[in-house]
Structure 1
Amino acid sequence: MNGIDISSYQAELNAGIVPSDFVFIKATEGTNYINPTWREQAGQVTQANKLLGFYHFASTGNTIAEADFFISVVKDYIGKAVLVLDFEAGAINAWGNVGARQFFESCKKKKTGINPMIYMSSEVTRQFNWSTISTSNALWVAQYASMSPTGYQSAPWADGKGYGAWSSAAIHQYSSSGTLMNWNGHLDLNLAYINASQWNELAGGSSATEQNNNNSNSELEDDDLMKFTYEIIDAKTNKSQGTVYFYDGNKVVALNNIDQWKIITEIYKDTTGKSMKHYKWRTDAPWYIRFLQSINQKAVEVAWK
């Protein structure tokens, strides 16, 4: 399937008459910006019986607040349109993969029950370890061969280096210089490797809803709630600073006894059948600070002795 993605920059474009099987529309950015033309553009898409998607352009703010804002704007289309986190620019350093995961958790568990897609460049797919979301959140990747004007392509160029934790992309954006009938400007062009039925499942159609309803409560809790431990590695000595931190899904707690770590991981393994993730974050790449910022926690709590 061939498609385009648009924003307020294409306010004069009639998405119903420009050739496409699907259209992604920018809905929001950060926690304040709403595309003033998104409803009109969405109406053009649905009236033309095309597949619809909305994306949120990630800013550098609180991940949950941005997820809440996005869902509050597009809530009338939940189950009818594919939702996407546009992960680029400042969000890459401000959020990292942990912040993106928290955005998805908020969208799915608290608001929609579905898994949004994620949009990023091919380079960013290899910049972080995306294994925690690659099995649940489909990839829309951007990779261009050139900036030359082009129409739709059936086999766009890829560099062959892969997409990190994803074995393949669901959608490939291969040009920002697309030329199509009924529009005089350039457009982003995309090739979808999924069909209309799979698109509707990503949007939260009947197949996805039935699958979610078949999950037990314990499965949902394990899939939807982040719980992990981490320690901080001193970049100068290449040794741990000695403290293990536990994120319980709501806040970070500094553990002060090795037995606390053992009992947490043992119970997690007994109840979920899985090993709890443990990260080692270095002081010269302070993701532990970025994570605290993303969950809006200014100070780490300390477990009582």
Structure 2
Amino acid sequence: MSIFTVDVFSGSADSIVTDSHAQGVIIKTTQGTGYVNPKCNHQWDLAGANGKLRGLYHYAGGGDPIAEAQYFLKNISNYVHKAILAIDWEKNQNSAWGSTNWVRQFVNEVHRLTGVWCVIYVQESALWQVANCANDCALWVAKYPSMSWHSWTVPSMKVSSGAFSTITGWQFTGDYMDRSIFYLDANEWNKLANPDGSSSKPSKPDKPVNPDKPKPTQQEEMFRQIVEEYGYDTETGIYGKGYSHDNGKTFVVQDTAYGRKYRQQDADSLWKLLKPMVESFIKGNEGGKADGTD
């Protein structure tokens, strides 16, 4: 038996979470030691309401792996043993990319604190960076036939497992919707989430983000701005690459499949710069005509 999944982040549309093709949803929760997905709770609840198996992942920032593991667990403490846990090991925004020991330290710390071994997400060409985790962790490997493969049909192609004995999950599409197949049944999925069957002790409310966390300062919020990520524009609904100045509450798309998108505020900003030059040009021309010149 196999399980189809999607993985989502703050810019993912709700329709991806509820897609009927997927039996599981893996949600980005944290990145580094300073970012929490502002839609994590909503996406968690929505996935649960639609009967999905659930997973939670941390995006490696490349800082201290012990600190990042603890930050991840601090923000999902009420969900441990209810979802599979994963570490997303990618090059983008990861200062430790190329390290062969970063992920090992991260998964060791998560296991020490929870008894759970993380599933490791990594592209096929970088399997060597996580080879020393092969005896303990499940592999979720990324390899696509092309970025234009937007189908739930699993492509026919060879995918390496590197040092791992088997591939547990395979992400076979990217772009605006990440689709994966996990070679598990629901019981095996839940076993990855809760290996010894222990029960977690959630506090109330049952939310991953600590409600008593102090409100971040303006300077802290500045570091949580999102730049050059993909998502849906909160005003137009258009999908593309853009930014958020408020940690994902609003998302502005700039680059789309149809080209660069400009807003009125872009024109207003440019006009402030151009207006003096235009006025000077007009004034000069008007003065010239008064002198009888062309």
**Structure 2 length normalisation: TM-score?**
0.62
Which 5+ residue runs of structure 2 have no aligned equivalent?
A: 200-294
Q: Which has the larger radius of gyration?
A: 2
Distance 1:129 1:187 in 2: 25
Contact 1:28 1:55 in 2 (8 A): yes
Contact 2:84 2:193 in 1 (8 A): yes
Query: SS in structure 1 opposite 2:77?
Result: helix
* Residue type at the aligned position of 2:55: G
Which 5+ residue runs of structure 1 have no aligned equivalent?
A: 178-185, 211-305
Which residue among 161, 164, 176 is the counterpart of 1:163? 161
Aligned equivalent of 1:48:
50
Aligned equivalent of 2:189:
199
Query: SS in structure 1 opposite 2:178?
Result: strand
Contact 2:14 2:43 in 1 (8 A): no
Write the deviation string for residues 98-138 of structure 1: whole angstroms up to 9, x where unpaired: 111111111111x211111110000111x3361x3212100
Task: Spell out the pairing of 1:1-305 with structure 2 (5 A cutoff).
Answer: 1-13=3-15, 15-16=17-18, 18-89=20-91, 91=94, 93-94=96-97, 96-109=99-112, 111-125=113-127, 127-128=128-129, 130=131, 132-153=132-153, 155-160=154-159, 162-177=160-175, 186-207=176-197
Query: Which 4+ residue blocks in structure 1 deviate beyond 6 angstroms?
Result: none
What is the deviation of 1:62? 0.6
Distance 2:130 2:15 in 1: 38
Identity of aligned residues (%): 30
Distance 2:166 2:95 in 1: 21
What is the deviation of 1:195? 1.0
* Aligned CA distance change for structure 1 residues 72 and 95 (closer, same or farther; 3 Å): farther
Distance 1:128 1:150 in 2: 28
Pairwise CA RMSD:
2.1
Write the deviation string for residues 231-282 of structure 1: whole angstroms up to 9, x where unpaired: xxxxxxxxxxxxxxxxxxxxxxxxxxxxxxxxxxxxxxxxxxxxxxxxxxxx
Q: Which has the higher helix share?
A: 1
* Aligned CA distance change for structure 1 residues 92 and 164 (closer, same or farther; 3 Å): farther
Contact 1:173 1:191 in 2 (8 A): yes
Query: SS in structure 1 opposite 2:11?
Result: helix
Number of residue equivalences: 196
Distance 2:164 2:195 in 1: 23
What is the deviation of 1:206? 4.5
Distance 2:39 2:130 in 1: 36
* Residue type at the aligned position of 2:26: F
**Structure 1 length normalisation: TM-score?**
0.60
Query: SS in structure 2 opposite 1:69?
Result: helix
Contact 2:63 2:96 in 1 (8 A): no
* Aligned CA distance change for structure 1 residues 206 and 16 (closer, same or farther; 3 Å): farther
